[in-house]
Amino acid sequence: MVRIGGFLVGLGFVFALFLGIIDTISNGLTTPKTVEEEFHKHAHAPEGGFSFEGAFGKYDNRQLQRGLQVYKEVCAACHSLRLVSFRDLAALGYSEGQVKTIAAGFQVPSINPETGEPATRDGIPSDRFPSPYANDVAARAANNNAIPPDLSLMAKARANGSAYIYSLLTGYQDQPAELLKKFPEAKTPEGLHYNPYFHTLNLAMAPPLSDGQVTYTDGTAATKANYAADVAAFLTWTAEPKMQVRKSWGLGTLIFLLIFSFLAYGAKKQIWRNVKD
């Protein structure tokens, strides 16, 4: 009787589990998609992709320098890079004098040594990129009650970050008629901007880029697509400045393991050469 009772209890658990699985599948098939799920688009890289993609990819310093230029002339008005020091820019191919010049173009918080009052001064290489706002209150007041995020790690904070940044910057558009017809309540609120690459489809940041906005010194075409690709590459570097070192170490480790495997196999054959089955 005990065995029969245990069997019936076990059978009951299995049956309940089966019903739960069927119910979950049924709900998944019948639950309607939300407006975000239906109209959100996945990020895509620019035409030709990025030079640093793949196991052997490397940063293009010229592109990173252009991305820095776009950041300085456009993005720095709202976004900080609080984890990046000016002296780090030497890795992009800038000389010591050029780094000092770039740093001096930013005003960083300081203290007046004579009065002890808050003040600002020209940046120096050891400083980090400053926030354009004194505090969060000022940031909210200037941006429709939204605080512009720091961009230091943005490429790592989002899935497929480089492509995400590129898609977001080039993805502003009018709301599709299909969306408004199917979800009339989802009309973009006043003060926000529709972008299908943003997770909620609407964001406070107005379209920041337009053709001809930044003049490149190397003759690269002054298009929105180029601006977006270049600043996306630059922000990937700020998030992963040691990417190339990591890749080179990974490749070296694989080569070492391959050689070690051959040596271990040879040693095994040598040690057990006289042993018969």
Q: Is the pLDDT of residue 55 over 90?
A: no
pLDDT of residue 19: 60
The amino acid present at 52, given as its one-letter code, is F
CA pair distance 93, 61, nearest whole angstrom? 7
Asked if the structure places residue 70 within a domain, the reply is yes
Q: Is the pLDDT of residue 100 over 70?
A: yes
**Annotated binding site, which residues?**
75, 78-79, 205
Judge residue 116's burial from the number of C-beta atoms within 10 Å of its C-beta, 0-12 exposed, 13-18 middle, 19 or more buried.
exposed
Mean pLDDT value of segment 112-124: 85
pLDDT of residue 93: 95
Mean pLDDT value of segment 46-60: 92
Look up the CATH number of the domain holding residue 150.
1.10.760.10
Asked if the structure places residue 238 within a domain, the reply is yes
pLDDT of residue 30: 47
Q: Is the pLDDT of residue 220 over 80?
A: yes
pLDDT of residue 124: 96
Helix, strand or coil for residue 85? Answer: strand
CA pair distance 93, 102, nearest whole angstrom? 13
**Annotated binding site for heme c, which residues?**
75, 78-79, 205
> Of the given ranges (63-72, 88-97, 112-121, 220-229), which has the lowest mean pLDDT?
112-121
Q: Is the pLDDT of residue 232 over 90?
A: yes
Asked if the structure places residue 16 within a domain, the reply is no
Domain that holds residue 189: 35-84+129-246
Position with higher pLDDT, 31 vs 87: 87
Position with higher pLDDT, 72 vs 27: 72
Asked if the structure places residue 104 within a domain, the reply is no
pLDDT of residue 26: 52
Q: DSSP readout, the chain?
A: -HHHHHHHHHHHHHHHHHHHHHHHHHHHHHSPPPHHHHH-----PPTT--TT-STT----HHHHHHHHHHHHHTGGGT---TT-BGGGGGGGT--HHHHHHHHHTSEEEEE-TTT--EEEEE--TTSBPPPSSSSHHHHHHHTTT-PPPP-TTHHHHSTTHHHHHHHHHH---PPPHHHHHH-GGGPPPTT-EE-TTSTTSEESS-----TTSS--TT-----HHHHHHHHHHHHHHHH-TTHHHHHHHHHHHHHHHHHHHHHHHHHHHHHTTT---
Q: Is the pLDDT of residue 155 over 80?
A: yes
What is the number of structural domains in the chain?
1
pLDDT digits 0-9 by tens, 63-72: 999 999 999 9
pLDDT of residue 176: 93
Asked if the structure places residue 242 within a domain, the reply is yes
Length of the chain: 277
Judge residue 67's burial from the number of C-beta atoms within 10 Å of its C-beta, 0-12 exposed, 13-18 middle, 19 or more buried.
buried
Mean pLDDT value of segment 100-104: 96
Q: Is the pLDDT of residue 213 over 80?
A: yes
Asked if the structure places residue 163 within a domain, the reply is yes
Could you report how far apart the first and last alpha carbons of the chain are, in Å?
A: 53
Q: Is 183 left (phi over 0), alpha (psi -120 to 50) or beta?
A: beta
Mean pLDDT value of segment 170-181: 94
Asked if the structure places residue 80 within a domain, the reply is yes
What are the structure tokens assigned to 84, written together?
A: 């990046």
Q: Is the pLDDT of residue 24 over 80?
A: no
Asked if the structure places residue 153 within a domain, the reply is yes
DSSP β-bridge partners for residue 194: 202
CB 129 within 8 A of CB 76: yes
pLDDT of residue 277: 57
